Structure 1
Amino acid sequence: MGIDEPLSPAGRLFVQPATHQIINGVLGLERPLELDALRTVISDSLMIKHPRFSSLLVTDDQGREYWRKIELDIGRHIILRSDPVGEGDNDEEVVNAYLADLTVSSPLNTDKPLWEVHLLSAHKCVVVRVHHALGDGISLMSLMLTLCRKLDDPEQTPTIEPLISSTRKPRKLGTLEKVLKVLKTIWFTLIYVCEFLMRGVWVNDGKTVVRGGEGVELWPRKLVTAKFSLEDMKAAKSVVANATINDVLFGVISSGLSKYLDYRSPNSLQEGLQITGVALVNLRPSPGLQDIKELMKKNAGTAGWGNKLGVMLLPVYYHSNRSDPLEYLKRAKMMMDRKKLSMEAFLSHQIGHFVMKFFGAKLASSLNYRVICNTTFTISNVVGPREEITAAGIPVTYIRTTSSSLPQAITMHMVSYAGKADMQIQVAKDLIPDPEKLAKCFEDALLEMKEYAGTIIKKPG
């Protein structure tokens, strides 16, 4: 049915045993969805028109992986779970437990294209599982939304806009400022790329109750949801000049982890202890989700379909009983400004490509695995639709995502939708038995920032 197409370097990375990854997306619905309606939605969507969704993963005699086009049988990809899939106090708890099990023990069958849809009728949701080799979170979320329509215009697919649009033109830089900017870019790039390489060899975070390590990806998982309001995040950032939603998120992570460590390890940690995360960065020219037709163009280049991801090491610091919660945000912004000025994310992608090309997939996978083992958490943030949407005419109540387990004890994926931002917190439950407490620490951290920002705004003058 055509010539086999080799996997991209990033695709090859995600099929290696040490870095094997599946993305598990969830659409919550206002009421149960019928099987026939789901089949119709999938059949009519752009999802199955993408060649990756009708291709098998095959391996030749030399161990090279390829995509082989086949005739797609949609019925094999839909899994109906009409009865409850577990016990719990509410649907959210049961669905999270179901997803937690999928992150460790449920690979996708390689005798069919690497995706499937689970219809959990009793819990009013749809789980979309897609192998990371098919694309990154931006690609797959953009594609998943082709299953949906706008609530107020059922003929239109959801549109994706930045959380905050800005019409302010960037200030023109003088010659000296341009030279200083170039020098800063070179300096920060050298520092951060060296740090990244050292993480892949020997440098690691100190031992804490939230630190994982080699083999932890095989341990049982728990999954909980931290819920944020985008208005609260905007209120917090409004009192810190030029702060972004991502700055607020990383400030919340720093503050929340400090709160949790105070709870689990009171008076036992050194003030200012560094806790390092891996932040996934979209390398496409346009931020946020993309127009799916643009993504699927063959000549789209760096703006197109696939795994256009880089990583940044994200250092946050433990501080106990800080009186000004906005200090976490200010520190996060200062650090992120330096990271964005550097080429760390771009070069991390290029280093992986180089190692894959000249030394093979196993070494590239081992390098990535060591970086993850030597850090404490992974974080990603995807901007979803600002307006409410429907699936098969049923209003969507939430959009959430998580991934396969990693050697880290904490993995966090945030998706915003219709004024809310839900962060799925996946933990190794033998190390973090109370992830609900961790989620509460994050939620409280944002509320404290918002309330403190409110007192600043109310001050006269």
Structure 2
Amino acid sequence: MGSSSAAAATTDSDEPVTPAGRLFLQPQMNQIIYCVMGFKNPIDIDSIKSQVRSSLMLTHPRFSSLMVRDSHGRERWHKTTHIDLDRHVIVLHDPVSSSSSSDDETAVNDYLADLSTGSGLPTDKPMWEFHLLIAHKVGIFRIHHALGDGISLMSMFLASCRRADDQEKLPTLASGKSTKGVNERKGLWVLLCGFVAMVWFSMVFVVAFLLRCLWVCDRKTEISGGDGVELWPRKLATAKFTLQDMKLVKKAVPNATINDVLFGVISSGISRYLDHRKPNALPEGVQITGVAMTNLRELPGLQELSDLMRSNSRSSWGNKFGMLLLPIYYHNSKSNGDPLAYLKRSKVMIDKKKQSVEGHFSYKIGLFVMTYFGPKVATWLNYRILCNTSFTISNILGPQEEITVGGNPITYLRASSSSLPHALTMHMVSYAERADMQILVAKDIIPDPAFLAKCFEEALLDMKEAAAAITET
């Protein structure tokens, strides 16, 4: 972070940065989100600038404000009267890789890996940038996490896009189904059992969460990070899935979801990778804990931007997510004959998490600590959780059909973030029947992220084959 945040004088009209936003401005938790889009056609720079200039983004208060600090050192949003687009749209004409053998994907991933441990966004301008890699036909939004979470930013981005098959229509947002009214049709006994389960699982998971904040940590493995690892050099690789394969697999297990399938793939893929790195080094069933972010808005999927912008909306703009601890268990891939066993175990665990209030608790306790004890204590607690666990995972639903920006069709959407104390961070984004997962690693701990990506891809294919066999019988 630059020291220029004090340059703009604060006024009474300045809006305080939310507690969650303040957390992401602390040096140890300084988080920048990278949204990557591949374009089908060569990039027209003037067209992109015109699209940004006329977009709703520039009218949004977060994207047109400076982050300043008042006389007490508290962060505030200060509305700026002028946005110099040339400082925000950064154009790189030459290839970003000096290696002639690098393909576009490798070159862009290497560029993102370098950015993930590079300097933060300057505070003498609104905290976002749009990098255009002309030689690779790629655009990269670089947005500070203090401006909003993945749901907010994806909704903002899609408001400026149009469907490829109809330029007059906005993309179709994938939203979760509301469960309101379902419980009203259940019997009293079922409701009572559900309440008891909610209380029990909440107690168990909340206690486990608090212990993780303090001293309980994972056993060290070949993917473990720790204190200071956020500063280590990074590598980035991409695992590619199709939603059709994931949907086929989830049908093999009753009431399974895409998130269940994703976590089953993560569990199987990490076990495969650990077998490759050090065969038979770990005892069967060792717990490896992940940290996942869960959207706490009333609707779990993407929202209309107009709804997010309403001040009285429950689906409000900003950072409104909780933290879940999602354990996986190492299993020797050679001795575990049923690929779907990983999915079944993941579903059981995630179903229990859904019945608890762990996500809401983590959000509320973070809000409480930040408000009453300040950012240093809140940062320490969050940093401890990351040091005591092994990886980060997130999953954002993207548009269901192909989209365009300024008339230029988008071939893929991907997301990644700044580095964390974890040596392994994974972000998956779905787009038009495909899902790409960016795998950001500390390269001195995980030197071969491309092989890890292959482990995940093969895990899904094995589950697909097992699911197809069940369907045939």
TM-score normalised over the length of structure 1:
0.97
Matches within 5 A, 1:174-213: 174-213=187-226
Counterpart position of 1:57: 67
**1:450 pairs with 2:461:** no
Q: What amino acid maps onto 2:345 in structure 1?
A: R
Matched-pair contact (CA < 8 Å) for 1:81–1:118: yes
Deviation at 1:163, TM superposition (A): 8.1
Question: Deviating runs (4+, > 6 A) in structure 1?
Answer: 163-171
* Residue-by-residue CA offset, 1:384-416 (whole Å, 9 max, x unaligned): 001110111111000000000000000000000
Query: Residue 40 of structure 2: which of 7, 30, 35 is its match?
Result: 30
Matched-pair contact (CA < 8 Å) for 1:2–1:69: no
Query: Residue 354 of structure 1: which of 364, 368, 383 is its match?
Result: 368
**1:424 pairs with 2:438:** yes
**1:306 pairs with 2:318:** yes
Distance between the aligned counterparts of 1:36 and 1:164, measured in 2? 40
Query: Residue 335 of structure 1: which of 349, 352, 359 is its match?
Result: 349
Distance between the aligned counterparts of 1:168 and 1:355, measured in 2? 34
Counterpart position of 2:294: 281
Counterpart position of 1:441: 455
Please give the root-mean-square deviation of Cα atoms over the aligned residues, in Å: 1.7
Matched-pair contact (CA < 8 Å) for 1:382–1:414: yes
Counterpart position of 2:5: none
Counterpart position of 2:86: 75
What are structure 2's unaligned runs of at least 5 residues?
1-10
* Residue-by-residue CA offset, 1:214-239 (whole Å, 9 max, x unaligned): 00000000001000010000111101
Residues 163, 169 of structure 1: CA spacing in aligned structure 2 closer, same or farther, 3 A cutoff?
closer
Deviation at 1:161, TM superposition (A): 2.2
3-state DSSP of counterpart to 2:131: strand
Deviation at 1:169, TM superposition (A): 6.2
**1:217 pairs with 2:230:** yes
Matched-pair contact (CA < 8 Å) for 2:48–2:406: yes
Residues 53, 60 of structure 1: CA spacing in aligned structure 2 closer, same or farther, 3 A cutoff?
same
**Corresponding residue pairs, total:** 458
**1:137 pairs with 2:150:** yes
Counterpart position of 1:40: 50
Residues 115, 417 of structure 1: CA spacing in aligned structure 2 closer, same or farther, 3 A cutoff?
same
Distance between the aligned counterparts of 1:142 and 1:343, measured in 2? 26
Deviation at 1:309, TM superposition (A): 0.7
Matched-pair contact (CA < 8 Å) for 2:183–2:191: no
Q: What amino acid maps onto 2:187 in structure 1?
A: G
Distance between the aligned counterparts of 1:204 and 1:165, measured in 2? 36
Distance between the aligned counterparts of 2:344 and 2:67, measured in 1? 46
Deviation at 1:147, TM superposition (A): 2.9
* Residue-by-residue CA offset, 1:415-442 (whole Å, 9 max, x unaligned): 0000000000000000000001100000
Counterpart position of 1:161: 174
Matched-pair contact (CA < 8 Å) for 1:163–1:383: no
Matched-pair contact (CA < 8 Å) for 2:161–2:171: yes
* Residue-by-residue CA offset, 1:310-340 (whole Å, 9 max, x unaligned): 0100000000121001010000000000000
Distance between the aligned counterparts of 2:12 and 2:52, measured in 1? 24
Q: What amino acid maps onto 2:96 in structure 1?
A: V
**1:85 pairs with 2:85:** no
Distance between the aligned counterparts of 1:164 and 1:30, measured in 2? 33
Residues 334, 171 of structure 1: CA spacing in aligned structure 2 closer, same or farther, 3 A cutoff?
farther
**1:363 pairs with 2:377:** yes
**1:267 pairs with 2:277:** no
**1:399 pairs with 2:413:** yes
Deviation at 1:449, TM superposition (A): 0.4
Distance between the aligned counterparts of 2:337 and 2:175, measured in 1? 32
Distance between the aligned counterparts of 2:36 and 2:281, measured in 1? 39
Instruction: After superposing the two structures, state which structure 1 stretch, 59-68 or 118-127, moved more.
Output: 59-68
Matched-pair contact (CA < 8 Å) for 1:239–1:453: yes
**1:13 pairs with 2:23:** yes
**1:379 pairs with 2:393:** yes
TM-score normalised over the length of structure 2:
0.94
Deviation at 1:167, TM superposition (A): 13
Percent of residue pairs identical: 57
Distance between the aligned counterparts of 1:108 and 1:147, measured in 2? 23
3-state DSSP of counterpart to 1:381: strand
Matched-pair contact (CA < 8 Å) for 1:32–1:125: no
Residues 362, 97 of structure 1: CA spacing in aligned structure 2 closer, same or farther, 3 A cutoff?
same
Q: What amino acid maps onto 2:232 in structure 1?
A: W
Distance between the aligned counterparts of 2:213 and 2:357, measured in 1? 18
Distance between the aligned counterparts of 1:171 and 1:284, measured in 2? 21
3-state DSSP of counterpart to 1:315: strand
**1:414 pairs with 2:425:** no
Matches within 5 A, 1:102-113: 102-113=115-126
